[in-house]
Amino acid sequence: MSKNFKELQDETIAIRKHIDRTYQKEHSNPLYLTSSFIFDSAEEMAAVFADEQEGNIYSRYSNPNVDELIEKVALLEEAENGWATSSGMAAVFTTFAALLKAGDHIVSSRSVFGSTHRLFTEIFPKWGITTTYVDALDYEGYSNAIQENTKILYLETPSNPALEIIDIERVANICKAKNILFAVDNCFATPILQKPIALGADISIHSTTKYMDGQGRTLGGLILGSNEIIAKMEAFARHTGPALSPFNAWIISKSIETLSLRVHHMSNGALELAKRLENHPAISFVKYPFLESHPNVEVAKKQMKAGGGIVTFELKGGLDAGRKFLNNLEIFSLTPNLGDAKSIATHPASTTHSKLKPEERLAVGISDGLVRLSIGLEHIEDLWKDLENALI
Ligand SMILES: *Cc1c(COP(=O)(O)O)cnc(C)c1O
């Protein structure tokens, strides 16, 4: 079956892109749970090791299930190539570690995933790599923060958990003018809703743990970019070992077959619930990228197909009201994951962002009463009843 996948729509790619299944003619994709691969002769082995012949050697370098996942998501992201890692954080770490050296500098949007913040503030400084934060929507600030030694600009949009929407095309133009690389953590949007590389970014990064798995089973990460960039990822990752397990790759690739259905369904539910929450007396504000009241709704509609499954809102009653709300929920799970079929509620001030100082939390839009919902696939009226009951 030979297809020009670039001519196909996302939903078709997500289902029909698969590894060769010529051996037993399985319809469902087989799992290659093997650490190494054998050769028919010394000559063949030598040729594969010398890169003169294609072939798998060892699953820390490549594996058919991992390759299937990479090729599928590279098509969805309109990227030339990709590299898979054992978690989203391994993808974030590998990206910087492969591209930067001591003395280099990163410019980042201020509101980044908690562990990414730790990487910038606690781990990279040990190796002489420094980071300057810029407020998410301060475009002049991005430009001004770029120094002689700046190699890469990094951002998350929609941001977590404040759901700020940064104009990817606008930042891409700043990076091109300054001749630095531009990487986007595309975890919240998925390539179904947003394609950073098509909008001018050099690198798109994923935690597949979230929407791509979609059922909260596996950890995984992906880095998408040009052949030149991915060659650097490979040179670093082959010898440092953040490889994705073939089993996880098999699960994630299978899950992506329903990614578009899931994220669109979750987005519809999230928008409807956001509208209802906006009218609730216990709530001071609701943030959702496609709500007309969102300050960046025009940018969101320009670069995203739908608003995604995350809704945030602020309880007027602050920290106490946040705890009470979580304890009153009966359907929503209390767990830090997101993008799962099961709806999830978190209270960032007491969990994911509890290690930040209160003023650092406020700088990224996290007040004491802020609640983050990840809308899953349960019936929307059951979810609404659960929220209403918990808000009393
Ligand atoms: C979860 C997450 C990560 C880290 O991914 P893991 O798979 O948990 O390591 C990175 N960025 C964002 C935006 C995330 O939500």
pLDDT tens for each residue of 316-335: 998 889 989 999 999 999 99
Write phi, then psi, for 55 (nearest 5 degrees): 165, 155
Which residue has the least CA distance to atom 2 on ligand 1? 207
Report the residue among 69, 92, 113, 374 best suited for mutation to probe ligand 1: largest number of ligand atoms under 8 A from its CB: 113
Atom index in ligand 1 nearest the CA of residue 219 equals 7
Q: Which two tokens stand for residue 249?
A: 């790759």
Closest by CA position to 49, among listed 32, 35, 34, 61? 61
Which residue has the least CA distance to atom 11 on ligand 1? 113
| Listed residues 211, 233, 256: the one ending a domain | 256
Range of the domain at 375: 259-390
Residues 209 and 327 grouped into a single domain: no
Residues 176 and 214 grouped into a single domain: yes
Per DSSP, 102 falls in state T
For helices 380-390 and 259-278, give the axis angle rounded to 10 degrees. Answer: 40
Which residue has the least CA distance to atom 1 on ligand 1? 207
Q: Does residue 213's CB lie within 6 angstroms of at least one atom of ligand 1?
A: no
Tell me, what's the pLDDT at 1? 46
Residues 181 and 45 grouped into a single domain: yes
| Listed residues 256, 286, 302: the one ending a domain | 256
CATH code at 72? 3.40.640.10
Residues 33 and 146 grouped into a single domain: yes
Burial of 52 per CB tally in 10 Å (0-12, 13-18, 19+): exposed
Residues 357 and 343 grouped into a single domain: yes
Residues 298 and 354 grouped into a single domain: yes
Residues 250 and 143 grouped into a single domain: yes
State the pTM of this model. Answer: 0.95
| Listed residues 256, 285, 300: the one ending a domain | 256
Residues 233 and 276 grouped into a single domain: no
Tens digits of residue pLDDT in 43-56: 999 999 999 999 99
User: Rounded to whole angstroms, how far apart are CA atoms 153 and 175?
Assistant: 7
Atom index in ligand 1 nearest the CA of residue 160 equals 13
Say which residues have a Cβ less than 8 Å from residue 260's Cβ, sequence separation at least 6. Answer: 10, 11, 14, 192
- Count of structural domains, the chain: 2
Residues 59 and 157 grouped into a single domain: yes
Low-confidence ranges of the chain (pLDDT < 70): 1-2, 21-22
Tell me, what's the pLDDT at 362? 83
Tell me, what's the pLDDT at 22? 67
Q: Which of helix, strand or coil describes residue 220?
A: coil
Structural contact between residues 160 and 287, judged by C-beta atoms closer than 8 angstroms? no
Which residue has the least CA distance to atom 7 on ligand 1? 88
Q: Does residue 190's CB lie within 6 angstroms of at least one atom of ligand 1?
A: no
CATH code at 358? 3.90.1150.10
